[in-house]
């Protein structure tokens, strides 16, 4: 069921229930009122003030020409506004690759647990070009980015490419619109398993934002009209020419753009309506592919970023650094997760580290009580951790071995557990409907229970490489493969 249908369904059911309930209460009050009237007064005699005050029907009564009516309007209208508000908050979207919580979870989705390249596939569309950006979904629109080569670049040269934003109809997979943000030849090579459209788009339902790194950041309306662009960040030079891929984060009226590379690194905060810089904070960090996470704490908002030198927190309003903690490994990729006044940051290339940090720290918090717990083995490299039901799930390095720990204490429920058919991992785990979805580069997704014990529910395969993180929305799961975009739904 899509978001609009959910909204209308909740509205109709809630209205009917409220009306029936209040009508019953009103009728009961009227019957009691009528009985008391007959007992207390002769026909046509008016009540005196004392008698009127003694009558206390449910909620309010209105006297009009001797007839008393219960005003359900005074209760139903506020209740109806409440229902509309609740139904809106329950409506499901996936506007960022880390989901609505920033932790990789959907509080409302219940996608299928079983599928194949043909079973439970609502639709499947071929994708042009190449990219590993994850899909984002808002109501009836599905957005992805891609880079489409136009020609052979020749010996030692990279080809010109169309850097595109694609919008598909959620109902049937038909292309609604596409825009070429820019046509350009990349200035630097990328890793064999990476492409040139790795940063995921994001949307707030009013605009969609596509980030192509050195090729710029582009803001479009939901029907594909360009609102603004920023192509003045410069050229990013990544470690060992592994390529670009950090995704921006939307929050409130701003969009945060990470810019860590083998040159002057920074974190940008832009006005999402105009693209103008609100603040820029320089970062003493080499290449990092993590995504910023915004967390609320003690009436303020912090931006938490991973980094090879330190995990750091910044004030969202000013960009001022609030706290930092060293201990991360080389060239981090994993993005933070947060819950209950703690933020969790980890990395797993050439070492292992994950830490739970209190958000009230100041300055360098390494070795202080602001570091609640740390783990120094089997931590994630490319895939980000998942925080669901008070537990953190993460892969070991780039392989499929899975660890599950208690978020508050760091207690390990199981460690580096081997899961059949999960080998190389780029996609981050996601949670929905009481299940965890673990996807390998081979296109295999293993579904397990969201529980402290490891229990495999199903093993599925779409038949092609998958590097992007799946997106669970309502009763559907969107998977971006190397060649196709899949909408998984129970038929």
Encode pLDDT of 339-355 as tens digits: 999 999 999 999 999 99
Q: Which residues pair with 438 in a beta bridge?
A: 446
- For residue 298, the surrounding DSSP H or E stretch is none
Is the pLDDT at 374 greater than 60? The verdict is yes
pLDDT of residue 5: 39
DSSP string, 186-207: -SS---TT--S--SPPEE-SSE
CA distance 408 to 399: 25
Say what the pLDDT of residue 242 is: 85
Distance CA 423, CA 437 (A): 14
pLDDT in tens, 145-180: 999 999 776 667 899 999 999 999 999 999 999 999
18-32, 102-116, 277-291, 402-416: range with lowest mean pLDDT:
18-32
DSSP H or E stretch at residue 25? helix 3-40
Q: Is residue 118 over pLDDT 90?
A: no
CA distance 341 to 313: 13
Alpha-carbon gap, residue 13 to 8, rounded angstroms: 9
Q: In sequence order, which residues have a C-beta less than 8 Å from that of residue 433 and are 6 or more positions away?
A: 106, 109, 110, 111, 472
Mean pLDDT of the chain: 86
CA distance 269 to 283: 13
Mean pLDDT calculated for residue range 428-448: 98
Please give the average per-residue pLDDT across 204-208, as a whole number.
98
Q: Are strands 435-439 and 412-417 parallel, antiparallel or unpaired?
A: unpaired
Of the pLDDT bands very low, low, confident and very high (cuts 50, 70, 90), residue 11 is: very low
Domain 92-489 has CATH 1.10.340.30: no
In this structure, of 40-44, 99-103, 212-216, 374-378, the range with the lowest mean pLDDT score is 40-44
Residue 212 to residue 247: CA distance in whole angstroms:
9
The confidence score (pLDDT) of residue 347 equals 96
Alpha-carbon distance 451 to 418, whole Å?
16
For 67-91, what is the mean pLDDT?
A: 43
Instruction: State both tokens at 418.
Output: 């081997």
For residue 94, is pLDDT > 80? yes
pLDDT more than 70, % of the chain: 81
Contact (Cβ atoms closer than 8 angstroms) between residue 196 and residue 131: yes
Answer yes or no: pTM beyond 0.85: no
The number of beta carbons lying within 10 Å of the beta carbon of residue 306 is 27
Q: What DSSP assignment string belongs to 100-157?
A: TTSSSEESS----S---SSTTEEEEEE--SB--PPPEEETTEEEEEEEEE-S---TT-
Dihedral sign from CA coordinates of 17, 18, 23, 25: positive
Under 8 Å between Cβ of 336 and 104: no
Name the token pair of 5.
């249908």
Long-range interactions of 453-462: CB distance < 8 A, separation 24+: 453/413, 453/414, 454/402, 454/404, 454/414, 454/417, 454/419, 456/419, 456/420, 457/113, 458/113, 458/114, 459/420, 459/421, 460/114, 460/115, 460/116, 461/116, 461/117, 462/115, 462/116, 462/117, 462/486
Nearest to 472, CA basis, from 190, 166, 136: 136
3-state secondary structure of 78: helix
Mean pLDDT of 62-78: 41
* Burial 105-115, CB ≥16 within 10 A → b, else e: bbebbbbbbeb
d(CA 374, CA 354): 5
Q: How far is CA 92 from the centre of its chain?
A: 10
pLDDT at residue 53 in the model:
44
Q: What is the pLDDT of residue 156?
A: 72
């Amino acid at each position: 069921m899509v978001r609009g249908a959910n909204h209308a369904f909740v509205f109709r059911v809630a209205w009917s229930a409220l009306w029936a309930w209040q009508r019953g209460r009103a009728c009961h009050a009227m019957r009691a009122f009528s009985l008391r009237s007959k007992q207390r007064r002769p026909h046509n005699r008016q009540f005196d003030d004392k008698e009127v005050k003694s009558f206390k029907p449910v909620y309010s009564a209105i006297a009009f020409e001797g007839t008393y009516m219960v005003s359900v309007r005074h209760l139903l209208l506020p209740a109806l506004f409440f229902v509309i508000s609740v139904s809106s908050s329950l409506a499901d979207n996936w506007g960022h690759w880390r989901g609505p919580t920033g932790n990789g979870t959907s509080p409302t989705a219940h996608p299928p647990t079983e599928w194949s390249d043909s079973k439970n596939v609502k639709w499947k569309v071929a994708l042009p070009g190449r990219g590993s950006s994850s899909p984002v979904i808002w109501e009836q629109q599905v957005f992805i980015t891609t880079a489409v080569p136009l020609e052979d670049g020749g010996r030692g040269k990279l080809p010109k490419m169309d850097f595109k934003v694609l919008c598909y109809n959620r109902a049937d997979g038909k292309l609604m619109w596409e825009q070429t943000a820019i046509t350009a030849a990349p200035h630097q090579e990328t890793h064999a398993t990476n492409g040139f459209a790795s940063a995921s788009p994001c949307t707030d339902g009013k605009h969609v934002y596509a980030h192509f790194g050195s090729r710029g950041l582009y803001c479009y309306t939901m029907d594909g009209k360009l609102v603004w662009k920023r192509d003045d960040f410069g050229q990013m030079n990544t470690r060992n020419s592994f390529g670009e891929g950090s995704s921006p984060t939307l929050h409130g009226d701003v969009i945060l753009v990470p810019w860590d590379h083998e040159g002057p690194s920074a974190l940008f905060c832009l006005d999402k309506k105009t693209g103008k810089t609100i603040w820029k904070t320089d970062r003493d960090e080499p290449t990092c592919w993590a995504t910023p996470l915004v967390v609320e704490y003690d009436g303020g908002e912090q931006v938490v970023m991973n980094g090879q030198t330190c995990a750091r927190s910044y004030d969202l309003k000013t960009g001022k650094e609030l706290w930092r903690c060293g201990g991360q490994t080389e060239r981090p990729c994993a993005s933070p997760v947060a819950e209950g006044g703690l933020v969790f940051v980890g990395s797993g290339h050439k070492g292992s580290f994950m830490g739970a940090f209190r958000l009230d720290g100041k300055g360098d918090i390494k070795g202080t009580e602001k570091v609640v717990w740390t783990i120094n083995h089997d931590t994630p490299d490319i895939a980000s951790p998942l925080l669901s039901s008070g537990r953190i799930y993460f892969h070991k390095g780039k392989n499929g071995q899975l660890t599950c720990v208690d978020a508050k204490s760091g207690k390990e429920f199981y460690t580096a557990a081997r899961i059949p058919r999960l080998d190389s991992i780029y996609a981050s785990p996601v949670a929905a409907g009481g299940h965890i979805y673990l996807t390998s580069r081979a296109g295999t997704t293993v579904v397990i229970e969201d529980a402290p014990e490891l229990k495999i529910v199903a093993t599925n395969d779409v038949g092609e490489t998958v590097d992007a993180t799946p997106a669970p929305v309502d009763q559907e799961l969107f998977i971006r493969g190397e060649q196709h975009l899949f909408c998984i739904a129970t038929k």
